[in-house]
Each structure stands twice: as C-alpha cells, then as structure tokens.
Amino acid sequence: MYLIKLIIIKAATIVYFLNSALAFDETCINSNNFPFCLYKDSEISFKILRYEEGEDKEEVGWHKVKFNKLKNGYEVITNGYVEVPYLLLLEYVFQYSAKSLWIDNNLQSYEGKVDDDGDEYTISINKINNELKITDKDGETKIVNSAFPSVHWHPHELKAKTIINLLTGDVVDISVSRIDNNTWYFDGEIKYFISFDESGKWTGLKFKPDEDSIMEYICDNCN
C-alpha cells in the first residue's frame, strides 16, 4: 500500500511539474491587452553574447522587440544585429528587421528582412482564411494549416508542435521539454533553450550556431 501511495505521489508531482510549465498569467495572455499587460514598457531588449565552453563571454550584438497597439490587434517591430570577428581582419555581420500584425494571439502577416553577411533576402507570412502562406529565403512558397512562428516573445510558442523558423522560412516539427522552472528545450531540426519568467515574459535564449560556439540572449529590461 505504501509503495502504491508513493508511486501516486510521484506521478502527481510529475504531472504538476509539467502542467505548471504553462501556468503563466493566462488572464493577461488571453486578454485584449496582451502583450502590453505582460511587457509593461511595450518593448523588450536583449544583449547577445557569444562564447565557447570554458571561455569568456563576448558581447556581439543586440535584439529588440517593440509592441504597438492598434485599433484591431497589435503590431510587433523586431530588429537585431550581430557582428562576430573571424579570420583575423574579417568580420561576420548578421542583421534583421521584421514587422508583424497579430489579432487575438494569431499571426496575420509577417515580413522579415535578413542580411546574412551580404546575402539579403525576405521572409513573408500571410494568413489566408485559416492557412498560412509562407515565402522562404529561396523565394519558394508553401501553405501550412498550423504552425507557430519562432518569435520567442509569445509564451504560446511552448505549446507548438510545428515551428516556422523566421530566419529561413522553413517549417519544422519540434518537441518541447522542460529543463527547470523557467527554461525549456526545443528539439528538432532547430534546437534552442528558451526562458520565461513566472508570468510568461520571455527572458532568455541559448543555441549553438555551429559545433563549437554558443549564442546567448540576455534580457536587458526584465527587472
């Protein structure tokens, strides 16, 4: 009897732990005042660090998201810049800017401009009826029924089974697992760790752009 009770307690603890991963401020997130009730300054910014295991972290860029309230829904403006030195005098530069429109937690349109060290392209997404029309970095178009864009600032990203990689336009299946109280791991063709605070505000991101280095986003205005 004691063993059965112990198993039930452990199972209940696991279920609670997993469910609490999404126990954010859903009253705010599902309201007409989202994301402004979550991001009080109507914006969030990050510094971007790069390092290898055991080495010092170097600041190499920044990432900023600005929310603008509209009569119907809200607009999101995203900008980012990364500059990484390599091969002595050369530098790798990555820049991006994007504008998206959201209504009732659903993406309506997105246009992102990317400059990948001189390789310039545009990613676009448009909602048509209940489907998303996506144009990827190669200019190829695909239509999907259900996928969530990798915006990171929206906590519903944790509920996604399929992600739209906003840097390429690729649509990939992923699985999400909880690492600790505030960190989750996305596994699939794209892999990253993402952090949210107790209310559901995005606070951090970490991924490996190559085999050796790590890129980490540290929130500047989360306090």
pLDDT of residue 218: 97
pTM of the model: 0.87
Yes or no: say if 66 and 76 are a contact pair by the CB < 8 Å rule: yes
Yes or no: say if 135 and 141 are a contact pair by the CB < 8 Å rule: yes
pLDDT of residue 22: 60
Q: Can you give the pLDDT of all 223 residues of the chain as single tens digits?
A: 544 443 333 444 444 344 444 679 999 999 999 999 999 999 999 999 999 988 899 999 999 999 999 999 999 999 999 999 877 778 999 999 999 999 999 999 999 999 999 999 999 999 999 999 999 999 999 999 989 999 999 999 999 999 999 999 999 999 999 999 899 999 999 999 999 999 999 999 999 998 889 999 999 988 7
Cis peptide before 35 (omega within 30 of 0): yes
Tokens of 83: 């500059």
Region of 79 on the Ramachandran plot (φ > 0 left; ψ -120 to 50 alpha; else beta):
beta
What is the SS3 assignment for 70? Answer: coil
pLDDT of residue 30: 93
Tokens of 124: 């676009």
